[in-house]
């Protein structure tokens, strides 16, 4: 009887835990949406969307799922194919650092009005990146 009671108690804890909003992640950032850009004089487009990032892990027959979200970015330079932008993270002044598909780090400061002027990198050199909504 004690084993059944203990198993029921664990089931209730897992059930109530799955409805808690305290563990849910939020994606917060001014960079979301579609942007028109200019990269070193060429027209370009950038977009960021919030996507599901739920995780499930199991230990034997007991599984737990956590809900979460993350940013998914992409960039098209002068009409070329869309490539991923990854790892967005905010800087001390509210700007956003992220990585281009080639691994180079890019930066856009928090916009002044509707425009943000930052930089890209290519072969160790910085190039101007301006984007606006």
Residues 85 and 94: their CA atoms lie apart, in Å, by 18
Indicate whether this model's pTM tops 0.75.
Answer: no
Query: Is 132 part of a structural domain of the chain?
Result: yes
pLDDT digit string, tens, across residues 53-104: 889 999 999 999 888 889 999 999 999 999 999 999 999 899 999 999 999 9
Strands 69-77 and 105-108, bridge-based pairing: unpaired
Query: Is 8 part of a structural domain of the chain?
Result: no
For the record, the structure tokens of 6 come out as: 């203990």
For the record, the structure tokens of 27 come out as: 């994606």
Query: Is 107 part of a structural domain of the chain?
Result: yes
pLDDT-derived band at 26, boundaries 50, 70, 90: low
Q: Which residue has the tokens 């995780």?
A: 55
Query: Is 75 part of a structural domain of the chain?
Result: yes
Q: Where are the alpha helices (DSSP H) in 19-61?
A: none
pLDDT-derived band at 18, boundaries 50, 70, 90: very low
Strands 42-52 and 69-77, bridge-based pairing: antiparallel
Query: Is 27 part of a structural domain of the chain?
Result: no
Percent pLDDT > 90 in the chain is 65
Query: Is 106 part of a structural domain of the chain?
Result: yes
Q: Structural domain tally of the chain?
A: 1
Residue 48: other Cβ atoms inside 10 A: 22
Query: Is 58 part of a structural domain of the chain?
Result: yes
Tell me if residue 123 falls in helix, strand or coil: coil
Give yes or no for a contact between 45 and 35, defined as CB atoms under 8 angstroms apart.
yes
């Amino acid at each position: 009887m004690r084993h059944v009671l203990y198993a029921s108690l664990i089931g209730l804890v897992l059930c109530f835990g799955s409805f808690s909003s305290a563990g849910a992640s939020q994606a917060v950032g001014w960079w979301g949406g579609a942007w028109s850009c200019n990269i070193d004089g060429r027209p370009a487009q950038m977009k960021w969307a919030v996507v599901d990032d739920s995780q499930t892990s199991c230990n034997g027959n007991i599984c737990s799922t956590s809900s979460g979200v993350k940013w998914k970015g992409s960039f098209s330079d002068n009409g070329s194919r869309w490539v991923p932008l990854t790892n967005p993270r905010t800087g001390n002044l509210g700007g956003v650092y992220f990585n281009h598909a080639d691994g180079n780090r890019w930066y856009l400061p928090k916009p002044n009005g509707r425009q943000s002027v930052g930089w890209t990198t290519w072969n160790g050199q910085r190039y101007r990146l301006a984007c606006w909504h």
